[in-house]
Amino acid sequence: MKSIKNISRRSFVKSIGLASGGLILACNTSVFSDKEKAPENLINFNPNLFVQINSDGSVILIASRSEMGNGVRTSLPSVIADEMEADWSKITVQQAVGDKKYGDQNTDGSRSIRYLYEPMRKMGAIAKAMLIAAAAQKWEVPAAECSVENHFIIHTSGKKIGFGDLVEIAKTLEIPSDTNLTYKDPKDFKYIGKHLKGVDVAAYANGSAIFGLDKRLSNMKFVAIARCPVAFGTVKSFDKTRALKVAGVLDVIEIPRIEKPFGALGGVAVIATNTWAAFKGKEALKVDWDFGDNKVYDSEKYMSQITENVHKLGKVGKDIGNINNAFKKAAKTIESTFQLPHLAHAPMEVPNAVAWVKDDTCEVWAPTQDPQSARKEVTDYLETSEDKVTINVTFLGGGFGRKSKPDYVVEAVIVSKAINAPVQVVWTREDDIKHGYFHTISAQYLKASFDKNGKVTGWLHRFALPSIVSTFQPGVDFAAGFEISSAANVPFDIENLKVEVGQAPAHVRIGWLRSVINIPHGFSINVFADELAHATNKDPLEFRLNLIGNDRIEDTNDPIKYDTARLKNVLKIAAKNADWGKQLPEGHAYGLAVHYSFYSYVASVVEVSMKNNKVKVHNVYSVIDCGTVVNKNTVTAQMEGAAIFGMQLAYYGKITAKNGAIEQNNYNDYKMIRINEIPQVHVEIVESTEKPTGVGEPGVPVIAPAIINAIFKLTGKRYYNLPLSDYDLV
């Protein structure tokens, strides 16, 4: 399992950039499966967290995950600091480069705290134990007579000594066994579960934080790339005459398409002395494109096709009871069809990367969520070994899943190698909107049956969407298991339940976007449940609680297991916080939604008004149960951000394709929520001692359906398709 080693005297220290002289602990948080083979130099030693305690008492943590507003560089070290009773003011964080020795560095899936909480508590407990042992040795007293408090070891006699003064002894000691470790009682936590200011806030405020776009190297060239308007198209020919006349443009070269999931799309690269010149040179290019077979893609026609597919039998994803019999015996049935478009990530910071290929080595600086994938893609392209490639992780100006796909990193490496100079590739906003990995388009059909008493007896959910797997395995045209599970694991107490999947081939690069498949499934399930409540003349809150049923642990076909008591609890708290059922001002109404994703439970109640046929959201009352909370500031911020992100998708989120090309260009036609549209967001975090679960993504899926349900309450009209801008409601 997980292990921690004292590497204070190992030569390995130099390779991770830590100064020698301190007590350095390495923590193994990754376990290779039986089918995997660890690299030879990592056998029995695969650390992805490091702690160094220096003689001045300062503590350094190597952070293996990427910081993109998720607060991970604050939350991760606070766990160690709390367990070892360190003074928070003495903690600093150093960012890890991309390397397998750090374990899984992919910062997506709301996994950082969920995966690393326990290893870091252990790291802190071991550091604490070693410091106590060092003090006991120095004082020649039993370790049992020593305790630790706020960066000091204290003896029962009253004398005390600082951490830094114990480093020289501690670094000679063996790591204590697990049986000799003591952990804090959660009631004694000083940092875990509290409100901690981010360690990087000052750097953000004073401008010293280095994002990808901020990185500069001597003699660096700036690059803009013209890519085929149709996904997977190629260059037939190009004329660079006008581009070369733009002041600052140095050269124009063609770059190849790399036919890999995260490979470069290919195109024509304009190399210049500054970004603006590169952009203007790209605009001046004349390129003749081979659009390829994908030029036929029309998202409107495609939506009609997959909608037809969900109205006929599909592949069975889950089948409990006898749905046909339930429909046959039903006193009443309700059925609805939902359609949701492609979505783009559109983070504030566009994709960008700095690369410098020198002889047989390459160094990269990039805002990447997955530096190991970037390292592998670069290594493969250069046909070299990973030890020759360094991926430095900068701060990310937003990611949402887009920056876990390092195609933009590969582009920078291609150009740097071609011109033998350091380069920075910068995408325009138009590039970002048109050439990303889009969230999947989807059609869904739901049908439910009732008995004569109004009880739901059957539930059919059939959906069709191009799978994320198609990006990795071209030709896959049905949803994968994880995409099925968020529909199959619906936590309702229904005797007959069936989930089917329709055919849906991919025509663009499909990628995960914040909350991934839970966006379409959370939408359809919550809107449909509200529709069923109305059909039975039941209050939506009462109906939903009854639909979830008795408290139970739902045993599913995968590791995900619902605790329905926790699900109902967040719904009840959200309703209480909103004062559900109270008389609202005229023209105002509440809507609610509840969803389970990334092992967390989230419910939201939204207050909506309609004036001149325009929707306005006034208040969002969100509740999350994510188990043990590390930093309440981070959780609150993530839930607030999720509410705004969810609103943007509900209001404006829509990517369309015509003749194979994406039609949207910039924020003028792929709009963002504006500050005047932002509601008051009220967040409550359920106190819990359960294991920590996801935070960054679970707050998104409930927002759009809650808005739709509130609109129905106001107008009697239910919207099954998004965005609301299609109906001129915003």
Q: What is the pLDDT of residue 5?
A: 66
Tell me which amino acid residue 207 is: G
Q: Is the pLDDT of residue 181 over 50?
A: yes
CATH code of 3-197, in short, is 3.30.365.10
CATH architecture of 299-343+438-727: 2-Layer Sandwich (3.30)
Tokens describing residue 481: 């298991």
Q: How far apart are CA 34 and CA 26, in angstroms?
A: 23
Q: What is the pTM of this model?
A: 0.93
Instruction: Tell which residue, 649, 610, 605, has the closest CA to residue 623.
Output: 605
Q: How far apart are CA 285 and CA 238, in angstroms?
A: 7
pLDDT digits (tens, 9 = 90+) for 615-673: 999 999 999 999 999 999 999 999 999 999 999 999 999 999 999 999 999 999 999 99
pLDDT digits (tens, 9 = 90+) for 511-559: 999 999 999 999 999 999 999 999 999 999 999 999 999 999 987 665 6
pLDDT digits (tens, 9 = 90+) for 234-280: 999 999 999 999 999 999 999 999 999 999 999 999 999 999 999 99
Q: What is the pLDDT of residue 21?
A: 57
The H or E element that residue 481 is part of is helix 481-488
The CATH 3.30.365.10 domain(s) of the chain lie at: 3-197, 216-292+351-426, 299-343+438-727
Q: Is the pLDDT of residue 46 over 70?
A: no
User: Under CATH, what is the fold of the domain 216-292+351-426?
Assistant: Aldehyde Oxidoreductase; domain 4 (3.30.365)
Instruction: Tell which residue, 183, 656, 603, 599, has the closest CA to residue 590.
Output: 603
C-alpha torsion angle, residues 391, 392, 398, 402 (rounded to 10): 0
